[in-house]
Structure 1
Amino acid sequence: MASIKTHQLNFLGAAQEVTGSCHLVETGGKRYLLDCGILQGEEGEDQKFDFDPAAIDAVILSHAHLDHSGRLPRLVRGGFRGSIHCTEGTARLLPILLKDALSLYLRDLDYENLRRERAGHELLRPEYDDLDVERTLDLCEPVNYGVTQAVGPGLKLLFHDAGHILGSAIVELHMGQGDTARTLVFSGDLGNPDTSLMPEPTQLRHADVVVMEGTYGDRNHRSFDDTIVEFEQVLAQAAADGGNILIPAFAIGRTQELLFQLGLMYHQGKLNGWRVYLDSPMGGAVTEVYDQMCHDWHARDRALMSEYRSRTLSEFLPCLTITASVEESIALNRVKSGAIIIAGSGMCTGGRIRHHFKHRLWQKNTHVVFVGFQAQGTLGRILVNGVKKIKLFGQEIMVRAKIHTLGGFSAHAGQQQLLNWAAAFTSNPRFYLVHGEPEALQTLAKALWSQHQIEAVVATRGSGVHF
């Protein structure tokens, strides 16, 4: 007898693209969203919903990154009043991210309206505001990893550690009963086991349907040990040049990973003569949350911190200064040498790093170190590609600094790590691949079949499946 199919899954975002994570699950007469992320680089119409927000009963959030959470305030503005289920780590990071995103959005909106006013065009109204952000945060219901939580009629939820950033989760949903009982697993973003701080992603065994990310489905990362050796070589070269090091880094995950690795180098005597500056108010706030929740770190790294009697990343890296104010940031321009300046944004699309570029990119003894993926069209990608001249703040700036890229700091699982995670399932589930560019997902699908005889479907936006 054919199995009864009473549950439906629709792919509404991050289908053959790496942003806008959003999937609709319908079961027991209710509608649930897995993630509600922004499409980064898109505006206006592209951020609107393909459904009525008021008709959504609950949101299940894999983690705090904006491409998974950033449209939540718009969802609330549209009438959503249900619960938002997330981990404790996500609940603590979400206020920092959503408030910062709102500030940047309103700043850009003011700039656009100034341009429109001068041109005699109609002004734009904000699509959401601080009240929507506060209402969003009030709807969050945090739960610990491994704790079963009832979400709705016939729907139970468990979060497992995804090892991506603090609070990141693999979502396990149990729905229906008897003949209609099904298990859906959503990977969220799986972490890179070779990096520091976060534990390895939890491996699950049973599911009927698996929705898996494939951001790096077409390649593996460089060895982390090789990456650290290369980082040490950059430090030596910059010291010999009598210069400074600029590191564009994302405030969540990458910044804390860098502080930890620099802490290890400090205790190994490899940072003599260097001062480290975290020039990012958001990065500082996130680092505090990481310190408060160090119980969620990898046990190996907690032990290392204890060995040096350090309770926080700041204690672990004594030569660290966190520059909160604009005045403190400006004062860094007077530092002639020996400074490692970590500042946002990670792809140099905004933030304080652009101001440091203005003052130092033209200096031959400046070293710029990229520790993350640089998307096409971003200033970071342009610099990595070897441009000789850029325009910043209305000025033309020569690029004389030495540009370095370190390939092992990614917080995403590489291809082989994705394959290993998928192969751990013993129940022969149906696989759907999301959160990756088309070529990466197609390559991953072929590798899943050739190595493990797992047949995976590359999800397309707007498509749906019954199970």
Structure 2
Amino acid sequence: MIKVTCFGAAGSVTGSNYLVEASLGTKVLVDCGLFQGGKEMESRNGEDWGYDPKEIKNLILTHAHIDHSGRIPKLVKDGFRGRIITSPPTAELCEVMLLDSAHVQEMDAEWRTRKNRRQGTKDIEPLYTTQDAEESLQYLVPMERDRIIDVEPGIKARFRDAGHILGASTVELWVEEKGKETKIVFSGDLGRHDQLIVKDPFEIADANYLLIESTYGNRLHRTFEESKAELLEAIKYAVSHNEKVIIPAFALERTQEILYLLGEFSRARQLPHIPIYLDSPLAIKATEIFRKNKKYYDEAARAIVEQGFDPFAMSNLKLTPTVEESKKINTQRGSAIVISANGMCTAGRIKHHLKHNLWRPGASIIIVGFQAQGTTGRKIVDGAKTVTLFGEKVAVRAKV
């Protein structure tokens, strides 16, 4: 009997983690993501796995977003020593994503420990460390798409394009038992058919069982052209008030899409020539990986490259990897576009930019990604009059 157990992303959006078990005793994991979206949800990251990581020989990873990959270092810390099978771009992106996540875990534990010591309570251990993340990278096994591979005795897999982000895959899994083959499909996160940079999702014709993501299953998206027009209008609004445009964006894919669109506006002379800051060390590293993986672009992105343009560069784009460069942005008055992480406004440099600009009536805050319940970004989207940043209430007066 084949058994599939959801240990995450069921009843919630984040924490993707699925265990496939066959009667021969073979076990395969699909994804191993962090739970995100407020303290209650994030507390689940430290809970028992529900299985023994030492018994898992293969983990299939659909893509590099942290809600799908972010608990891999903890899995290794807890005894996993198997293969992490994924696409080549995902393997590259995990090298920067997991190390960055480990740094966040360490910083958060250090901050909470200082707070606890003042209150006379116990120190906090990070969920995992940079060393754990570095150790986990050795288990990454890149596999190209569109070829069937043997995962375990009686279990085969194939990656197909999922769109969504660079390297993202839908997984076809075939499990053979007593001469009968059962096909299980894990969609991973699916992109839209008009999505920038990456190819459209591959349409899989058949499956016995399908596990499909439904993050936006209860809503209709605006058309792509409407979203583009809204972005340009928000930029022009802030420029007309001599204020800044603040864009909280996930470092992976969403940031590159925004850069791609700004480049398109710039080449069409639709964009005012104002400074554009990419203020996220992780996004800067991820963008470089995008540049290296042109063969995974869609036709439109490849055409831009063939015309001699870099889809992610403009003459007025400034990269600010250091803390000093980041702080300097908020000392400069006048219009500018600031792209910073994280995308849900719960951590990172974006919190500083919101603190300096959220209360300014002429500024624009552009929300470009999913905002989980309990996050600062979700509160802003839901129309909160104030949000708390660094322990201080900040009025929401900017245009959202």
Change (3 A) 1:49 1:360: same
User: Quick check: 1:91 aligned with 2:88?
Assistant: no
Q: Secondary structure at the match of 1:147?
A: coil
For 1:162, the aligned partner's letter is A
- Aligned equivalent of 1:414: none
Q: 1:255–1:283: 8 Å Cα contact kept in structure 2?
A: yes
TM-superposed CA distance for 1:267, in Å, is 0.5
Q: Which moved more, 1:159-168 or 1:371-380?
A: 371-380
Q: CA deviation at 1:311?
A: 4.0
Secondary structure in 1 matching 2:197: coil
Q: Matched residues in 1 for 2:238 and 2:124: separation?
A: 47
2:344 aligns with 347
Is the aligned partner of 1:369 residue 2:348?
A: no
How far is the alpha carbon of 1:178 from its aligned partner?
7.0
Q: Displacement, 1:222?
A: 0.7
Residue of structure 2 aligned with 1:38, choices 34, 37, 45: 34
Q: Which moved more, 1:339-348 or 1:11-20?
A: 11-20
Whether 2:312 is the aligned partner of 1:313: answer: yes
Matching residue of 2:50: 50
Is this contact kept in 2: 1:47–1:71, CA < 8 A?
Answer: no
Distance 2:20 2:387 in 1: 46
Q: Is the 8 A contact 1:273 1:338 kept in 2?
A: no
Please tell me whether residue 148 in structure 1 is matched to residue 148 in structure 2.
yes
Partner of 2:13: 18
Q: Which moved more, 1:137-146 or 1:176-185?
A: 176-185
Specify the code of the residue in structure 2 equivalent to 1:330: K
- For 1:361 and 1:182, locate their aligned partners in 2 and report how far apart those are by CA, in whole Å: 53
Letter aligned with residue 30 of structure 2 = L
Query: What is the alpha-carbon distance in structure 2 between the residues aligned to residue 243 and residue 158 of structure 1?
Result: 49
Cα separation, 1, equivalents of 2:226 and 2:277:
24
User: Helix, strand or coil: the match of 2:185?
Assistant: strand
**Does the CA contact (< 8 Å) of 1:39 and 1:47 recur in 2?**
no
In structure 1, the partner of 2:233 is 233
- The alignment's C-alpha RMSD in Å is 1.8
The residue type equivalent to 2:116 in the other structure is: R
Q: Give, in angstroms, the shift of residue 388 of structure 1.
A: 3.3
Q: Distance between the aligned counterparts of 1:398 and 1:127, measured in 2?
A: 33
2:18 equivalent to 1:9: no
3-state SS of paired residue (1:330)? helix
CA change 1:336–1:61 in 2 (3 A) is: same
Q: Deviations over 1:201-224 (max 9, x none)?
A: 001112222111111111221111
Counterpart of 2:91 in 1: which secondary structure? helix
Partners of 1:244 and 1:156 in 2: CA distance? 51
Displacement of 1:85: 0.4
Once the two structures are superposed, residues 227-268 of structure 1 have per-residue CA deviations (whole angstroms, 9 ceiling, x without a partner) of 111222222222222222111111011000000000000000
Distance 1:371 1:125, change over 3 A: closer
Which entry has the higher C-alpha Rg, 1 or 2?
1
* Amino acid aligned to 1:98: L
Structure with more relative contact order (C-alpha pairs < 8 Å, separation 6 or more): 1
Normalising by structure 1, what TM-score?
0.81
Offset of residue 46 of structure 1: 5.0
In the TM superposition, what whole-angstrom CA distance separates every residue of 1:103-160 from its partner, at most 9, and x where no partner exists? 1111111122222222222323334322321221101100111122211112221101
Q: Are 1:38 and 1:47, in contact at CA under 8 Å, matched by a contact in 2? A: no
**1:168-183 → structure 2 map (5 Å cutoff):** 168-176=168-176, 179-183=179-183
SS of 2:7's equivalent in the other structure is strand
2:163 touches 2:195 (CA, 8 Å); kept in 1? Answer: no
User: Following TM superposition, where does structure 1 have runs of at least 4 consecutive aligned residues deviating by more than 6 angstroms?
Assistant: none
Identify the residue that residue 438 of structure 1 maps to in structure 2. Answer: none
The percentage of counterpart residues that share the same residue type is 38
Unaligned segments of structure 2, at least 5 residues: none
Rounded Cα–Cα distance in structure 1 between residues aligned with 2:393 and 2:21 = 53
2 CA distance for matches of 1:151 and 1:104?
Answer: 32
Structure 1 unaligned regions, length at least 5: 1-5, 404-467
| CA positional deviation for 1:177 | 6.5
Deviation, 1:381, is: 2.2
Q: Is the contact made by 2:260 and 2:311 (CA closer than 8 Å) also made in structure 1?
A: no
SS in 1 for 2:287: helix
